[in-house]
Chain A
Amino acid sequence: MIPLAHYLILSGILFSIGLAGVLIRKNIIVVFMCLEMMLTAANVALVAFSRAQGTAGVPVYDAQVLSLFITGIAAAEVAIGLALIVAMFRARRSVESTALNTLKD
């Protein structure tokens, strides 16, 4: 059986890659993928914790329910995000974050 720590390390790595990608990458579609990765990291941690907190092999289902909610919300977020990216591409012919330069101090 794989110990809890391994799942948590995996989830930590996913979260860090996601966070680094959001901060470093310029292509907004890649940024979106990284944001999804951060949510996935939370899902992995939740499912692992739901097993670990359970007794006699029965997991605590609360955490798994939240992970379903997160999946749903992530889907809604992507739908809105892609719509905005299409609108942006129509307006500027680019999906790079450097093209977002209308609003600044």
Chain B
Amino acid sequence: MNIVSTYTWCQFAPAFALVGLAALLILADALLPRLPKRIYACTGAVGTFVAAYYLYTGSPSNFLGCIAAIATGLSLLLAFDYKKISCESIAGAGNEEGTGEFYALPLVACAGILCLTQARDLVMLFVSLEVVTLTSYVLAGYFRRNQGSIEAGIKYLVLGALSTGILVYGTAWYFGMVGSFNIGPEIVLSALKGGVAGTPQLAVGFMLATALLFAGALFKVGAAPMHVWIPDVYQGAPTPTTAFLAVASKTAGFIVLCALALPFAPFCAPGSIIGKIIVWSFAIIAAATLIIGNLGALRQTNLKRLLGYSSIAQAGFIVVFFLNINPLMVNLVGQYLLAYALATLAAFYAIAMIRIQRGSEEIAAFRGLGKSNPRTAFLITVCFASLAGVPLTMGFMVKMYSFVAAITAIGNWCGICWLLPIMVITAATGFYYYFKIIRAMYWEKAQPGEKALQVPVCTGIVLTLCALALIYLGTMPLLLIMS
């Protein structure tokens, strides 16, 4: 029997390299117990940055994979700074035993995301998605002396496995209706016409399968109503893991969503019934996600939990791009994810710094930073301003793209015009809760005895780079217009 593979080994070279590196680190952990674990974090981060460079310069350039690789590298560097808390929560203060895998596993998850970007069929999609989620379960529950971490791990595992079950059941029905695991426009077209035999039941079964597949993908993204796990898991998981989940894992979700949605591009012309169903579903999901994310964030005092709700809200703005399904959409999704990734990663570095030195993750713990650490406070301000969408930051540019996408879609489908006011109101709500942190830094006084923060090296560099990138990418279009 001839086996024809649609994949080449070259496509997976960066993923293999990362898995190899992770295997080496785990071996080193077992054989060289004296080696300081911080070396693992640095090696892993360097590995992912090299992979990101390779992906960016490769042809065709893999932009979403590049974001995921950089995010993994930065969350490893965050783990480097976070060592003190990791040791306390795993083996006891000052004891590094058993912390090695915490630095090696993100590499495996990153390899899974890189495979995901190459997936052209549902088997590849499913297996690489599971590589990402299974490692995330371990990472979320890794701090075994911390009640919150174990609880986050179990909640993530139960709800994640539920979404896996739904995704897999959808895959089974997709195969049953179509007879192959490939996802492409011609297969969708044939299935919607009732297959070779022309039976209408087949189209119904196919729509059921697709709905289940989309539900599984939307879970990863954290879109309503599959968002329930996000606040709990983000709050409970170790901060480096939360940073990974918030950025890399969310990117993985959007890669899956793009791969599933793109074959439907030819059916989204105005007037088609299928297009109407798809556009209305995405519009309702986007609106629900925006409302739930923003309303939930309003009353949070814990910054990690607030960023959980913020990630739901931002996902809502990204889902809006799916109202106009076309190949250009992937680029817009990538740009939005880049703006979100830079600001969110910087925010998690700030949380980790505060947690290590002031022992709290509450917003109130940022008090007085404007006085004691004016430069750091300014960098944090830029990041939260970008999340809120203040002009001259990248967050404003991408939010504008999202509004443009909504207006274009409303031009084609007048029925979803209610989406625009919801987007405006929720974008305005964002200003309220993101500016809570800025208010705490500049308007609230430090309590007596609180000293200025010592900014760790990695945190300083990453905060500066992220803030500069956000401002540069936010003003670049203006500079281009003026020159």
Contacts and interface: CB of A to CB of B under 8 A. Distances in A.
Do A and B originate from a single complex?
A: yes
Interface of A: 8, 11, 15, 18-19, 22, 28, 31-32, 35, 38-39, 41-43, 45-46, 48-50, 52-53, 60, 62-63, 65-66, 69-70, 73, 76-77, 80-81, 83-85, 87-88, 91-92, 97, 100, 102-105
A70 B162 contact: no
A37 B132 CA distance: 22
Contacts of A32: 158, 161
23 contacts: A15-B169, A19-B165, A35-B161, A38-B162, A38-B165, A39-B168, A42-B172, A45-B172, A53-B179, A62-B175, A69-B123, A77-B157, A77-B161, A83-B141, A84-B137, A87-B144, A91-B144, A91-B150, A102-B147, A102-B151, A103-B235, A103-B236, A105-B299
A83 B153 CA distance: 10
Contacts of B144: 87, 91
Contact of B152 (A39, A62, A103, A104): A103
A84 B172 contact: no
Interface residues of B, number: 43
Contacts, number: 129
A84 B154 contact: yes
Contacts of B166: 38
Contact of A60 (B127, B168, B179, B232): B179
B171 interface: yes
Contacts of A41: 165, 169
Q: Which 4 A-B pairs have the closest CB atoms?
A: A38-B165, A49-B176, A45-B172, A42-B168
A53 B126 CA distance: 21
A88 B181 contact: no
A62 B123 contact: yes
A91 B147 contact: yes
A70 B129 CA distance: 12
A80 B176 contact: no
Given A35-B162, A39-B165, A66-B181, A73 B148 contact: no
Given A41-B165, A69-B127, 17 more contacts: A8-B176, A22-B158, A35-B161, A38-B165, A38-B168, A49-B172, A50-B175, A62-B175, A69-B123, A69-B126, A70-B168, A73-B164, A77-B137, A77-B161, A84-B137, A87-B150, A88-B150
B199 interface: no
Nearest to B237: A103
B155 interface: yes
B123 A100 contact: no
Contact of B158 (A8, A15, A35, A46): A35
Interface in B219-239: 231-232, 235-236
Nearest to B134: A76
B173 interface: yes
Nearest to A60: B179
Interface in B130-156: 130, 134, 137-138, 141, 144, 147-148, 150-155
A87 B150 CA distance: 7
Contacts of B176: 8, 45, 48-49, 52-53
Interface in B338-360: none
B331 interface: no
Contacts of A46: 171-172, 175
A85 B236 CA distance: 16
Residue among B123, B168, B176 with the most chain A CB within 10 A? B168
Nearest to A47: B172
A70 B122 CA distance: 12
Contacts of A39: 164-165, 168
Contacts of A97: 158
A14 to B, nearest CB: 10
B130 to A, nearest CB: 5
A98 B64 CA distance: 39
A19 B162 CA distance: 8
A88 B179 CA distance: 43
A10 B235 CA distance: 40
Nearest to B144: A87
A28 B158 contact: yes
A70 B126 CA distance: 9
B342 to A, nearest CB: 27
Interface string B101-132: 00000000000000000000011001100100
A28 to B, nearest CB: 7
Contact of B153 (A31, A42, A62, A84): A84
Contacts of A105: 231, 296, 299-300, 305
B173 A45 contact: yes
